[in-house]
Chains A and B, each alone.
Chain A
Amino acid sequence: MITINNISKKYRGVEVLNVPNIDIPTGQSFGLVGNNGAGKTTLFNILLDLIRPTTGKITNNNIVVNASEEWKTFTGSFIDESFLITYLTPEEYFDFIGDLRGMNKADVKSFLSQFEEFFNGEVIGKKKFLRDLSKGNQKKAGIVAALIGNPEVIILDEPFANLDPTTQIRLKQIIKNLAEKQGITVLVSSHDLMHVTDVCERIVVLEKGHVIKDIQTSQATLKELEAHFGATINPE
């Protein structure tokens, strides 16, 4: 589904990302881990054509992302709070995204009904603007908005951060369900090793812009990752 080919990004001569080749098949749940500054968000931003790569290209469902905009129709994403329109209520925000993705008000409403448990009564019908919601509830709204319109690819940057424990567990179920039952390709980045190993079939470790590990998740994966991040202070 997604092919990353020789992607690199330099800022004023300093290379922050260099990924020779990653192939993500359809329906895979793909996890990206790494410390701060490893290049996770940069990679996602390039994937969404928000940043231009210095070299290389990414194809999403055979569409080169910086050549055509067709990928937008089947790709949902939530990178950070700047994806929210803060002066709207959550309902208006969902309607807006629904409008852009060809769903009417009723479609959006019925779509949202399956997330009642996830919202935990704190997002819908609260008569609050998104800017007045807590960080956790903003995140819930942003994640669900990324799922609107039956996307085939979903990209979530740090979806577990700021969520309460119950919501984290519910989110894990949602992501698993998307990949396993609906065949949606899900890309997730996280600092929480446990969550990614729980959710993702495959985990790629980035460090200073380079791919250090590319693991098919198994029983031993969490131990392996913990050993990796616990031991290495500087691999070079």
Chain B
Amino acid sequence: MIFKFLSLEWKSFVRSASFGKSLAVKIIMGFFALYFILSFLAIGIGGYYLIKKELPGSDPLQVVNSFLLFAILGDLIFRYLMQKLPVMNIKPLLTLPLKKSTLVHYVLGKSAFSGFNILGLFFYIPFSIVLIKEGYDVLGVLGWLFAMILIIQSANFLNFLINKNNVALVGIVVLLVSLIGLQKFQIFDVVGLGGQMFDAIYANPIYSLAIIIILATLYYLNFKQLRNLVYLDEAVATKVKEANSVDLSWADKFGDVAPFIKNDIRLIWRNKRTKTVFLMSFLFLFYGLIFFTNDIYSTKMPAMLMFAALFVTGGFTLNYGQFIPAWDSAHYKMLMTQSFRYRKFLESKWVLMVSMTAILYFLSIPYLYFGLDVFLMITAGAIFNIGFNSLFLLFAGSFNRKRIDLNKSGFGNTQGTSATQFIIIIPLMLFPMLVFWVFNKFVGHNSGFIAVATIGVLGLIFKNYFMNVIENKYIKDKHEMVAAFGKEE
């Protein structure tokens, strides 16, 4: 039986949509995964020596032990927010001649191998190896590692028990905060107590067996709870959120393009992926802090400052704009049977990008703190984003041929990404950087952002002309786009 399940898992992995992605996307995703694994590995291997160096005379294992309690609670909070029990995929198995208990064991057993449980091992295992190499008691270290694995698994199953129970979340957060508080104000030595607990496991590896009992109990509780809920209207139910219609009649001010604007606002707010894009654009506001606080850039690489300035106000335009009109790909056919000028549709996207850039620009005023130069640079970036990038992204959008299914998840979803997305970075970011660099180097500092801003202003002045070109391109490619957007991945 277990082998049948394993083969199902393998197929779902190999045949998943993400596996069929284009090579470029695969490489980038693989790179990110590798990055995380390597970071943990590096901490695992180097951690021992780092602690030795920073805290001479201390025992690295004891140092790690003393903070484990906080790490475990933090892990629980992280899991609570991110990890869910994958119950839905047993739906097709429900009517097959399989015992329900087998299915529940399958779901629970599978969760033991989830990424949340694996990532930590990239720290604990190399750290243990280093400990053994440095002459720690082999049995003690192995017992300690075993205990860590058991704790990770216990956290895994505890999370499913308390999931979606906000009281539990508040409980954990209060516990964590009060532990930190107790430590900070030296009321109670939490670090010491936690350290002693885990030190004891190292000293007497046999104690780790006690955690097996905890793990077994948690597993049993999960099993008992889930076993009674394996019905379509209980655990295996798709959750339906109540739809809240917010009155958007204020958007009617936009006139002809208002229906599309309202539609886009709802699109952004009601789909995970677009919502992520929207919220991320506010994070990009802080992107400049990395560059403007470091003198290296202003003295040696001023073009990088231009790069940062573009990102401060351009987060939304860049991330949302590059997938126009693929956001509407699911209902593109319908749009093409409705009578409206294509211009209106494009204009609405333009208004949206420009408004968001303006809002982000307004919010970036505190950058004045870093001097007028910095703010002028951000201003030039904003003008470039409004005048050039918005129009250019609309034009680039006409090359988008990949469907985006908004119902799919948000974070790390690369659907709709193709070579277009990588090529457009050149004119969007490198072009203004180059202009800035050339003028800055050969004419003088102020001319750099004046040149960039001028390009933006020119874009605005000739907007109508460019819009006509863009509109015709979209109309010309209509049938190809309809056909491409109709293809589900």
Contacts and interface: CB of A to CB of B under 8 A. Distances in A.
Given A70-B339, A87-B270, 17 more contacts: A50-B337, A77-B337, A82-B486, A83-B333, A83-B334, A85-B331, A87-B266, A87-B267, A87-B271, A91-B245, A92-B266, A96-B263, A99-B258, A100-B340, A128-B242, A128-B243, A132-B241
Q: Which of B336, B339, B340, B486 has the most CB of A within 10 A?
A: B339
B296 interface: no
B330 interface: yes
B483 interface: yes
A155 to B, nearest CB: 9
28 contacts: A48-B336, A50-B333, A69-B339, A70-B339, A72-B339, A75-B337, A79-B333, A82-B332, A82-B486, A83-B333, A83-B334, A83-B337, A84-B331, A84-B334, A85-B334, A86-B330, A86-B407, A87-B267, A87-B406, A88-B263, A88-B266, A92-B266, A97-B338, A99-B258, A99-B259, A127-B245, A128-B240, A132-B241
B52 interface: no
Interface string A55-89: 00000000000000110110101010011111111
A51 B482 CA distance: 8
A49 B336 contact: yes
B479 interface: yes
A52 interface: yes
Given A50-B479, A99-B259, A128-B240, A82 B331 contact: yes
Contacts of A96: 259, 262-263
Interface string B404-447: 00110000000000000000000000000000000000000000
Interface string A96-136: 11011100000000000000000000000001110110000
Contacts of B271: 87
A163 to B, nearest CB: 20
Interface residues of A, number: 32
A86 B406 contact: yes
Interface in B329-375: 330-334, 336-340
Given A50-B479, A96-B263, A101-B339, A127 B243 contact: yes
Given A89-B243, A92-B266, A129-B243, A50 B336 contact: yes
B467 to A, nearest CB: 18
Nearest to B488: A82
Nearest to B336: A50
Interface in B304-342: 330-334, 336-340
Nearest to B256: A99
Contacts of B263: 85, 88, 96
B263 to A, nearest CB: 6
Nearest to A104: B252
Q: Which of A50, A96, A100 has the most CB of B within 10 A?
A: A50
B333 A82 contact: yes
A46 to B, nearest CB: 10
